[in-house]
């Protein structure tokens, strides 16, 4: 199993001991509190769940700017995206604060943070972080729009996490922490594991891509690891994706070759930088390989189709990560061959030889109740998606 990032033991910040957790929760009731934004709450969940290992908490300005510039903290840890707690609210001179969850009714305490510094981001510093992470300052980019709305006050320091927000309750069969996944991999006797990141339902091309990658790297199994947090408007909700993916796995994958899991994070849409962050997550979960496909973690036309692969060659030092990247091409159903192929492996094909549908066309067909082509989507998966779109449209 692949060693956690940073060459040290996994460092989940969730307080696992029930008595200690209860005592901390009681003490948190007497602390100044801060209602954090969804981005900071997601960072807390990821810190608690071990995916952000070995980070001890939220970054200060020096580390955030260093990570933005060259993907290393001041101390030299490789890290692709700043882990921030940004706010416009004053916390006075508090030495510790209770972080309240914006995504759960009643705003319960999510974590307790030790305040090491409170610094203000200048306009130039916020622009630098934004442009380096997202590759653009366009306010129409959903990740840019979110980041610039979070506030200018950067509160840094280590945290202790009390719960996993809404993820455990809403997705009890799917949400898993990095230690839980590592244990499941060990229990299955798997050594080599290929991970597939998704924020969308999986169509036949995705299904076959997982099978191709598993065969190519001779992996013992596949980790389908779906994002369960907040997306942009128009994306399919996590519970629908979860149902569709589980149906596909149950019917079309060999038994005991796939783990369907999810993690509690909000999508950044940061393209190449987010692809590298995804690699860190999967290394911490014990995976040996991550599938990086066309426009991985992208949105609109902000990134080149294979920028998320190229970054591993041009900006990620060779020794920075232990996980390996499986580079996927466009994948589609070949009418000529009667099966899904990577398009780079079919140089004799014309565009008309492939069955490809745009996301817009897929949504139009589903919303109107028309079946998706069986070459594009398994019928059982298409039915789940069609029911959702028709329900939303009624």
Residue 176 has pLDDT above 80, yes or no: yes
Residue 10 has pLDDT above 60, yes or no: yes
pLDDT digits (tens, 9 = 90+) for 12-31: 999 999 999 999 999 999 99
pLDDT at 329: 87
The residues carrying an active-site annotation are: 199-200
pLDDT digits (tens, 9 = 90+) for 210-255: 999 999 999 999 999 999 998 777 778 889 999 999 999 999 999 9
Query: Rounded to whole angstroms, how far apart are CA atoms 125 and 131?
Result: 10
337: left (phi over 0), alpha (psi -120 to 50) or beta: alpha
Query: Rounded to whole angstroms, how far apart are CA atoms 222 and 204?
Result: 16
User: pTM for the complete prediction?
Assistant: 0.94
Run of H or E residues at 148: helix 142-149
pLDDT at 236: 83
pLDDT digits (tens, 9 = 90+) for 272-321: 999 999 999 999 999 999 999 989 999 999 999 999 999 999 999 999 99
What structural domains and CATH numbers belong to the chain? 18-168 (3.10.400.10), 172-393 (3.40.50.620)
327-340 burial: b if 16+ Cβ within 10 Å, else e: bbbbbbbbeeeeeb
């Amino acid at each position: 199993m692949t060693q956690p990032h940073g060459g040290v033991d996994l460092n989940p910040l969730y307080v696992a001991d029930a008595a200690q957790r209860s005592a901390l929760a009681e003490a948190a009731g007497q602390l100044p509190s801060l209602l954090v934004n969804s981005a900071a709450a997601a960072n807390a969940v990821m810190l608690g769940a071990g995916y952000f290992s070995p980070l001890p908490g939220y970054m200060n300005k020096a580390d955030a700017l260093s990570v933005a510039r060259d993907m290393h903290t001041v101390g030299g840890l490789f890290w692709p995206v700043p882990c921030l707690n940004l706010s416009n609210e004053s916390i006075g001179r508090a030495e510790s604060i209770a972080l309240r969850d914006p995504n759960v009714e009643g705003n319960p305490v999510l974590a307790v943070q030790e305040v090491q510094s409170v610094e203000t981001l200048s306009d130039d510093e916020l622009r630098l972080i934004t442009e380096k992470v997202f590759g653009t300052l366009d306010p129409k980019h959903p990740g840019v729009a979110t980041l610039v709305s979070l506030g200018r006050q950067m509160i840094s320091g280590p945290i202790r996490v009390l719960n996993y927000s809404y993820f455990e309750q809403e997705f009890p069969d799917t949400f898993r922490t990095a230690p839980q996944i590592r244990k499941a991999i060990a229990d299955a006797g798997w050594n080599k594991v290929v991970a597939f990141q998704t924020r969308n339902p999986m169509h036949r091309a995705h299904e076959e891509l997982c099978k191709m990658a598993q065969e190519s790297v001779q992996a013992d199994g596949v980790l389908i690891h779906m994002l369960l947090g907040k997306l942009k408007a128009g994306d399919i909700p996590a519970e629908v994706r979860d149902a569709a993916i589980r149906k596909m796995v149950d019917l079309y994958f060999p038994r005991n070759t796939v783990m369907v899991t999810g993690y509690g994070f909000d999508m950044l849409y940061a393209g190449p930088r987010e692809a590298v962050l995804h690699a860190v997550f999967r290394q911490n979960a014990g995976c040996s390989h991550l599938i990086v496909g066309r426009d991985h973690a992208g949105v609109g036309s902000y990134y080149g189709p294979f920028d998320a692969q190229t970054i591993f060659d041009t900006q990620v030092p060779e020794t920075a990560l232990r996980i390996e990247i499986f580079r996927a091409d466009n994948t589609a159903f070949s009418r000529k061959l009667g099966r899904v192929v990577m398009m780079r492996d079919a140089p004799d094909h014309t565009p008309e030889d492939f069955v490809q549908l745009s996301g817009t066309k897929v949504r139009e067909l589903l919303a109107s109740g028309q079946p998706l082509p069986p070459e594009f989507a398994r019928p059982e998966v298409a039915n789940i998606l069609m029911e959702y779109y028709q329900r939303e449209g009624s």
